[in-house]
Structure 1
Amino acid sequence: MELHQLQILRELGTLGSVTAVAEALRVTPSAVSQQLTALQRGFRTPLTRKQGRTLALTAAGEVLAAAGAEAIDAMAAARSALDEYEQDSTGTVSISGFHSVGQALFGALLRELSSAEATPAVQLTDEDVAQNEFPALTARYDLVLAHRMEHSPPWPAQGIRSLTLVREPLDIAVAVTHPLAGRAAVTAADIAGERWVTSRVGYSPDDVLGAIAAVANRSPQVQHRINDYGAVAAVVAAGDAIGMLPRFTSRSVDDRDIVRLPLRGVGNHRLIDVLARPETLRRRSVRVVVDGLQQVMARLSE
Structure 2
Amino acid sequence: MNERQLQILRELGELGSVTATAEALLMTPSAVSQQLRLLQRSIPVPLTERDGRRLVLTDAGQVLAGAAIEVETALAKARHTVEEFVDQPDAEVSVAAFNSAAAAFFPLLLAEARPGSPRLSLADEDVAQDQFPRLTRDYDLVLAHRLDQAPPWPATVTAVTLLREPLDIAVPADHPLAAQRRLTPRDVADHPWITVHDGFPLMATIDAIATAANRRLDIVHRVNDFAVVAEIVAAGGGLALMPRWTARPHPALVLRPLSGVHTGRHIDVLHRPERAARRAVRTVLSDLRRAAATIQR
TM-score (norm 1): 0.69
Q: Deviations over 1:247-286 (max 9, x none)?
A: 1111x24x22111101111111110000000100111110
Question: Could you say which residue in structure 2 is the equivalent of 1:104?
Answer: 104
2:292 to 290, 297, 302: 297
CA contact (8 A) 2:147 2:202 kept: no
Q: Does 1:240 align with 2:226?
A: no
1:192 to 189, 192, 197: 189
TM-aligned CA deviation for residue 175 of structure 1: 1.0
Q: Does 1:89 align with 2:89?
A: yes
Deviant stretches of 4+, over 4 Å: 78-81
Question: Could you say which residue in structure 2 is the equivalent of 1:213?
Answer: 210
Q: Secondary structure at the match of 1:264?
A: coil
Q: Which runs of 5+ in 2 are unaligned?
A: 3-78
Alignment of 1:68-217 (within 5 A): 82=83, 87-114=87-114, 117-157=115-155, 159-217=156-214
Q: Does 1:273 align with 2:268?
A: yes
Max radius of gyration: which structure? 2
CA contact (8 A) 2:194 2:229 kept: yes
TM-aligned CA deviation for residue 193 of structure 1: 1.7
Q: Does 1:224 align with 2:226?
A: no
Q: Which runs of 5+ in 1 are unaligned?
A: 3-77
CA contact (8 A) 2:143 2:268 kept: yes
CA contact (8 A) 2:96 2:143 kept: yes
Q: Deviations over 1:212-257 (max 9, x none)?
A: 011111111101000111111111111121111111111x24x221
CA contact (8 A) 1:113 1:292 kept: no
Question: What percentage of residue pairs aligned between the two structures are identical?
Answer: 42
CA contact (8 A) 1:83 1:284 kept: no
Taking a change above 3 Å as real, the CA distance of residues 79 and 260 of structure 1, as seen in their structure-2 partners, is farther
Aligned mates of 2:131, 2:219 — CA distance in 1: 24
Aligned mates of 1:222, 1:187 — CA distance in 2: 18
Which AA in structure 1 matches 2:272?
R
* CA-based RMSD: 2.0
Q: Secondary structure at the match of 1:181?
A: helix
Q: Secondary structure at the match of 1:297?
A: helix
TM-aligned CA deviation for residue 200 of structure 1: 0.6
**How many residues align structurally?**
220
Alignment of 1:48-63 (within 5 A): none
TM-score (norm 2): 0.70
Q: Deviations over 1:49-85 (max 9, x none)?
A: xxxxxxxxxxxxxxxxxxxxxxxxxxxxx8899459x
CA contact (8 A) 2:87 2:280 kept: no
Q: Does 1:257 align with 2:249?
A: no
Question: Could you say which residue in structure 1 is the equivalent of 2:55?
Answer: none
Aligned mates of 1:131, 1:79 — CA distance in 2: 39
Q: Does 1:282 align with 2:274?
A: no
